[in-house]
């Protein structure tokens, strides 16, 4: 073998080894990205659950305050009716 062929063979082997190492690193990065996306999905699901719970809770509070307001109006009407009857 001539010297240029030996150098070319060494360069090809070195480049092949470097490409294999880069491929292994990329596979590791993709696995980490997959795990990160899975965790992010779980967090987003939890946030969605919390927001639905808060919405449900605020709607319940709104209904409760509306009911209390209606009850207070009813009490006001009843007291007006009784006070007008007692004045007559």
Q: What is the pLDDT of residues 12-39, one digit of tens each?
A: 999 999 999 999 999 999 999 999 999 9
* C-alpha–C-alpha distance, residues 69 and 5, integer Å: 94
* C-alpha–C-alpha distance, residues 15 and 17, integer Å: 5
Q: Which two tokens stand for residue 43?
A: 């967090």
Q: Which two tokens stand for residue 65?
A: 């305050």
- What pTM value is reported for the model? 0.52
Between 13 and 80, name the one with better pLDDT.
13
* C-alpha–C-alpha distance, residues 67 and 61, integer Å: 10
């Amino acid at each position: 073998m001539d010297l240029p062929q030996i150098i070319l063979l060494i360069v090809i082997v070195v480049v092949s080894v470097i490409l294999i190492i880069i491929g292994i690193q990329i596979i590791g990065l993709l696995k980490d990205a997959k795990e990160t996306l899975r965790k992010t999905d779980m967090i987003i699901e939890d946030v969605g659950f919390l927001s639905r719970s808060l919405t449900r809770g605020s709607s319940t509070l709104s209904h409760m305050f509306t009911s209390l307001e209606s009850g207070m109006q009813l009490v006001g009407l009843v007291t007006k009716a009784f006070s007008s009857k007692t004045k007559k």
